[in-house]
C-alpha cells in the first residue's frame, strides 16, 4: 500500500487531514470521494502552502495505475500521479517530448497543471496548455471528461484542486528535440533593464538568476534548441557576459545536481529543467514565491523591485526571471497576457519572508502582479479577484461541479472566498 506523506516536500506544511488514502483504482477513488465530507487531492506535494490541505480525506493519486498511453502522433494519455521526469522517459521511447518543462522534473503532472506551472521561453506557454482533455472525479463520485473546446474546459484545467480529483489527462506532445545549455555571467543590472526582452528572448528557454546582492547583476542561462537554426550565442555588443563553468542556480551550491551545461547538446528533458532527474535537487529547505506581470511591464516591474534589494537579499537564496507566452486558461498566471515572471527561492523562514513579500506585492501592485498559486503569497481574495478577473466564473464552475463544497479548504477560503 502506498503511504501518503503527512507533509509537503518543503516540510513547512503538515496536513490537517483526518484521513489519508492512496486508492489503487479509479472506482476505489470514486467511492472514497463520494463518501467524504471534505476531500482534496495531493500530487507530489511540491507546493509551498496549504493549497492541497483538507480537514477531511487527503487522497494521493500516486497509487493509481501510472500509465502513459500513446493516443496519436502527438497526443498521450497520462495518469495524474505520473511525474514529469517519468513521463519524459516514456515519451523519449516514442521519439516524443514535452514542448517545455519546469525547473524540477520530480513534480506530478496533475499538480503541475492544477497550479499553472510553467518553464520559460517567449514562445512557450504554461504546461497546463498542453492539456487537451482531463478526467475528473467530482464530489458526487462521478467521473467526467472535459475536452478542449468544450464549455468549462478552460476554467477546469488550472483547477487548484478545487473542482475534483483529476485521474488522467491527455497531453499534446512534440517530436523529441535536443537542447544545449550555456551559463553566462555577469550581466549588469542596467544592461538587463535596457535589453530585458532581448535577453529573455535570446534562446528557446532563458532564465536570469539574481541574488539581489550589490552590485546588482544577473547570471543568464541560455537553453538553445539545437534544431531551430539559431546561432546558439548572443551576438550583441551589450552582451559581455562570458560563459561560466558549471553552476547550480543557487549561488554557493555545487553544480552536481544541475543539468549539464557548457553547450553540450542533450535530450530536451535533460536540459530544460535546471535539476537532474536522477538527483534530489535539495533537501527542501526553502520556500518559494513568484509573481507574473505583463511582459511589456517586465523591465519597469524589475526596476520597481530594485529599491527592495537590501530587504530581499538577506532572506533570499536566489531569484529567477522567466518569460511565458499567453494562454486562455481562466486561472493561469499567464492567462490573457504574455508574461514576465519573477520567482524567489527564499530561506525557510516564513516569518522573515512574509514582510518582504508584502513589500514586493506593494511594489508590483501597479502592474497587477499575479502570484503563482502553488507558492507562498500573502495576497487575499479581495485583491486576487482584481488580478485574476475570471475568479467569479471559476467560483461559479466550482459551485456547479462541487455544490457541497467538498473540495473547499482553508486556502480556498483565504484566497478565493470559497
Ligand atoms: C524545487 C521546486 C521547483 C519548482 N519549479 C517550478 C517551476 O519551474 N515553475 C513553476 O511554475 N513552478 C515550479 N514549482 C512549483 C510546483 O510546480 C507547483 O507547486 C506544483 O503544483 C507542484 O505539483 P505537485 O504535484 O507537487 O502539486 P501539489 O503540491 O501536490 O498540489 C498542488 C495543487 O494541485 C492539486 N492537485 C494535485 N494533484 C491533483 C489531482 N490529481 N487532481 C486535482 N488536483 C490535484 C492539489 O489539490 C493542490 O491544489 C517548483 C516547486 C519546487 C519544490
Q: Which of 1-10, 205-214, 248-257 has the highest mean pLDDT?
A: 205-214
What is the Cα–Cα distance from 102 to 117, expressed in whole angstroms? Answer: 7
Tell me, rounded to whole angstroms, the distance of Cα 176 from its chain centroid: 22
Taking residues 120-139, what's their average pLDDT?
98
Q: What local confidence, expressed as pLDDT, does residue 279 receive?
A: 78
Q: What local confidence, expressed as pLDDT, does residue 283 receive?
A: 60
Q: Which atom of ligand 1 is nearest to the CA of 126?
A: 11
Q: What local confidence, expressed as pLDDT, does residue 281 receive?
A: 64
Q: What is the pLDDT of residues 293-334, one digit of tens each?
A: 999 999 999 999 999 999 999 999 999 999 999 999 999 999
Residue 54: band (very low, low, confident or very high) from pLDDT cuts 50, 70, 90:
very high
- Which residue lies with its CA nearest to atom 48 of ligand 1? 52
Residue 182: band (very low, low, confident or very high) from pLDDT cuts 50, 70, 90:
very high
Q: Which of 74-78, 273-277, 282-286 has the highest mean pLDDT?
A: 74-78
Q: Which atom of ligand 1 is nearest to the CA of 282?
A: 1
Q: Which atom of ligand 1 is nearest to the CA of 41?
A: 47
Annotate the chain with three-state secondary structure.
CCCCCCECCCCCCECCCCEEECCCCHHHHHHHHHCCCCEEEECCCCCCCHHHCCCCEEEECCCCCCCEEEEECCEEEEECCCEHHHHHHHHHHCCEECCCCCCCCCCEHHHHHHCCCCCCCCCCECHHHHEEEEEEECCCCCEEEEECCCCCHHHHCCCCCCCCEEEEEEEECEECCEEEEEEEEEEEHHHHHHCHHHHHCCCCEEEEEECCCCCCEEEEEEEEECCCCCCCCCCCCCCCCEECCCCCCCCCCCHHHECCCCCCCEEHHHCCCCECCCCCCCCCCCEEEEEEEEHHHHHHHHHHHHHHHHHHHHHEEEEEEEEEECECCCCCCCECCCEEEEEEEECCCHHHHHHHHHHHHHHHHHHCCEECCCCCCCCCHHHHHHHCCCHHHHHHHHHHHCCCCCCCCHHHHHHHCC
Q: Ligand 1, residues 374, 376, 394, 412: which to mutate, most atoms within 8 A of Cβ? A: 374
Give the pocket of ligand 1 (CB within 6 Å).
Answer: 9, 40-47, 51-52, 61, 80, 102-104, 107-108, 110-112, 114-115, 117-118, 160-161, 165-166, 281, 288, 372, 374
What is the Cα–Cα distance from 404 to 57, expressed in whole angstroms? Answer: 15
Q: Ligand 1, residues 45, 47, 253, 318: which to mutate, most atoms within 8 A of Cβ? A: 47
- Give per-residue burial for 287-324: e unless 16+ CB within 10 Å, then b: bbbbbbbbbebbbebbebbeeebeebbebbbbbbbbbb
Q: Is 121 exposed, middle or buried (0-12, 13-18, 19+ CB in 10 A)?
A: buried
Task: For CA atoms 217, 343, 353, 106, give the dihedral sign.
Answer: negative
| Of residues 55, 49, 108, the one with CA closest to residue 81 | 108
CA of 117 to the centre of ligand 1 (A): 7
Q: What local confidence, expressed as pLDDT, does residue 333 receive?
A: 98
Report, in angstroms and rounded to the nearest whole number, the Rg of the chain calculated over CA atoms: 20
CA of 101 to the centre of ligand 1 (A): 13
Task: Write out the CATH class of domain 68-176.
Answer: alpha beta
Residue 1: band (very low, low, confident or very high) from pLDDT cuts 50, 70, 90:
low
Q: Ligand 1, residues 30, 46, 104, 144: which to mutate, most atoms within 8 A of Cβ? A: 46
Residue 282: band (very low, low, confident or very high) from pLDDT cuts 50, 70, 90:
low
Q: Is 214 exposed, middle or buried (0-12, 13-18, 19+ CB in 10 A)?
A: exposed
- Give per-residue burial for 333-349: e unless 16+ CB within 10 Å, then b: bbbebbbbbbbbbbebe
- Which residue lies with its CA nearest to atom 20 of ligand 1? 112
What is the Cα–Cα distance from 115 to 51, expressed in whole angstroms? Answer: 10
Q: What is the pLDDT of residues 350-406, one digit of tens each?
A: 999 999 999 999 999 999 999 999 999 999 999 999 999 999 999 999 999 999 999
Q: Which atom of ligand 1 is nearest to the CA of 341?
A: 11
Cβ-contact 46, 102 below 8 angstroms: no
* CA trace torsion 29, 34, 37, 41 (10° rounding): 30
Share of the chain above pLDDT 90, in %: 92
**Sequence ranges of the domains in the chain:** 68-176, 178-243+281-381
Asked if the model's pLDDT at residue 252 lies above 90, the reply is no
Asked if the model's pLDDT at residue 80 lies above 90, the reply is yes
Beta bridge partners of 97: 174
Kindly report the average pLDDT of the chain as a whole number.
Answer: 96
Residue 274: band (very low, low, confident or very high) from pLDDT cuts 50, 70, 90:
very high
CATH (residue range 178-243+281-381): 3.30.70.2520
Amino acid at each position: 500500500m502506498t503511504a501518503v506523506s503527512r507533509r509537503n516536500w518543503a516540510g513547512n506544511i503538515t496536513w490537517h487531514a483526518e484521513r489519508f488514502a492512496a486508492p489503487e483504482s479509479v472506482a476505489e477513488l470514486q467511492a472514497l470521494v463520494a463518501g467524504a465530507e471534505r476531500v482534496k487531492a495531493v500530487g507530489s506535494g511540491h507546493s509551498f502552502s496549504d493549497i492541497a490541505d483538507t480537514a477531511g480525506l487527503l487522497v494521493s493519486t500516486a497509487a493509481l495505475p501510472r500509465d502513459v498511453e500513446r493516443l496519436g502522433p502527438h497526443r498521450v494519455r497520462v495518469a495524474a500521479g505520473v511525474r514529469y521526469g517519468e513521463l519524459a522517459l516514456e515519451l523519449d521511447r516514442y521519439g516524443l517530448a514535452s514542448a517545455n518543462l519546469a525547473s524540477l522534473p520530480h513534480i506530478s503532472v496533475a499538480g503541475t497543471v492544477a497550479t499553472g506551472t510553467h518553464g520559460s521561453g517567449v514562445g512557450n506557454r504554461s504546461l497546463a496548455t498542453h492539456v487537451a482533455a482531463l478526467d475528473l472525479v467530482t464530489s458526487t463520485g462521478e467521473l467526467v471528461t472535459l475536452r478542449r473546446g468544450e464549455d468549462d474546459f478552460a476554467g477546469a484545467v488550472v483547477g487548484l484542486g478545487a473542482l475534483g480529483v483529476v485521474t488522467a489527462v491527455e497531453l499534446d506532445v512534440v517530436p523529441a528535440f535536443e537542447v544545449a545549455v550555456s551559463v553566462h555571467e555577469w550581466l549588469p543590472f542596467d544592461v538587463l533593464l535596457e535589453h530585458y526582452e532581448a535577453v529573455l528572448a535570446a534562446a528557446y528557454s532563458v532564465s536570469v538568476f539574481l541574488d539581489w546582492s550589490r552590485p546588482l547583476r544577473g547570471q543568464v542561462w541560455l537553453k538553445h534548441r539545437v534544431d531551430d537554426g539559431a546561432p546558439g550565442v548572443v551576438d550583441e555588443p551589450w552582451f559581455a557576459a562570458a560563459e561560466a563553468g558549471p553552476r547550480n542556480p543557487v549561488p554557493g551550491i555545487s553544480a552536481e545536481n544541475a543539468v549539464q551545461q557548457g553547450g553540450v547538446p542533450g535530450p530536451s528533458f535533460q536540459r530544460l529543467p535546471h535539476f537532474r532527474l536522477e538527483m534530489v535537487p535539495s533537501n527542501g529547505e526553502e520556500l518559494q514565491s513568484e509573481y507574473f506581470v505583463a511582459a511589456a511591464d517586465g523591465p519597469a516591474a524589475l526596476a520597481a523591485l530594485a529599491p527592495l534589494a537590501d530587504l530581499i537579499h538577506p532572506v533570499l537564496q536566489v531569484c529567477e526571471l522567466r518569460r511565458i507566452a499567453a494562454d486562455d486558461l481562466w486561472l493561469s498566471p499567464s492567462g490573457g497576457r504574455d508574461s514576465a515572471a519573477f520567482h524567489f527561492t527564499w530561506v525557510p523562514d516564513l516569518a522573515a519572508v512574509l514582510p518582504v513579500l508584502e513589500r514586493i506585492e506593494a511594489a508590483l501592485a501597479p502592474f497587477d502582479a499575479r502570484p503563482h498559486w502553488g507558492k507562498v503569497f500573502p495576497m487575499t481574495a479581495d485583491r486576487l479577484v482584481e488580478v485574476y478577473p475570471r475568479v467569479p466564473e471559476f467560483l461559479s464552475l466550482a459551485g456547479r461541479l462541487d455544490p457541497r463544497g467538498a473540495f473547499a479548504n482553508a486556502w480556498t477560503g483565504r484566497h478565493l472566498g470559497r
